Amino acid sequence: MKVCIVGAGAIGGLIGARLAKAGQAQVSALARGATLAALRTQGWRVQEPETLLQVAAQASDSPAQLGVQDVIIIAVKGPALPALAPALVPMIGAQTLIVPAMNGVPWWFLQGMPGLGDAPLESVDPRGGIAAVIPAEQVIGCVVHASAMTPEPGLVLHRSGQGLIIGEPRGGASERGQRLAELLRAGPFDVTVSSNVRYDIWYKLWGNLTMNPVSAITGATIDRILDDPLVRQFCSQAMLEAQALGSRIGCHIEQSPEDRHAVTARLGAFKTSMLQDAEAGRTLELDAIVTAVHEIGQRLGLATPNIDALLGLTRLFGRQHGLYPS
- Least Cα distance to 262 among 200, 310, 207, 306 occurs for 207
Check 2, 21, 77, 204 and give the catalytic one. Answer: 204
Question: What b/e sequence results for 70-109 when a residue is b if at least 16 CB atoms lie within 10 Å of its CB, and e otherwise?
Answer: bbbbbbbbbbebbebbeebeebbeeebbbbbbbbbbbbbb
Element (H, E) at 244: helix 229-248
Torsion of CA 175, 26, 55, 182, to 10 degrees: 10
Q: What residues form DSSP beta bridges with 97? A: 71
Residue 204 known to be catalytic: yes
Element (H, E) at 121: none
Give phi and psi for 224, each to the nearest 5: -75, -35
User: Contact at 8 Å (CB) between 96 and 136?
Assistant: no
Query: What is the 3-class SS of 262-300, one letter each residue?
Result: HHHHCCCCCCCHHHHHHHHCCCCCHHHHHHHHHHHHHHH
User: Contact at 8 Å (CB) between 48 and 22?
Assistant: no
CB atoms within 10 A of CB 308: 17
Q: Which residues are catalytic?
A: 204
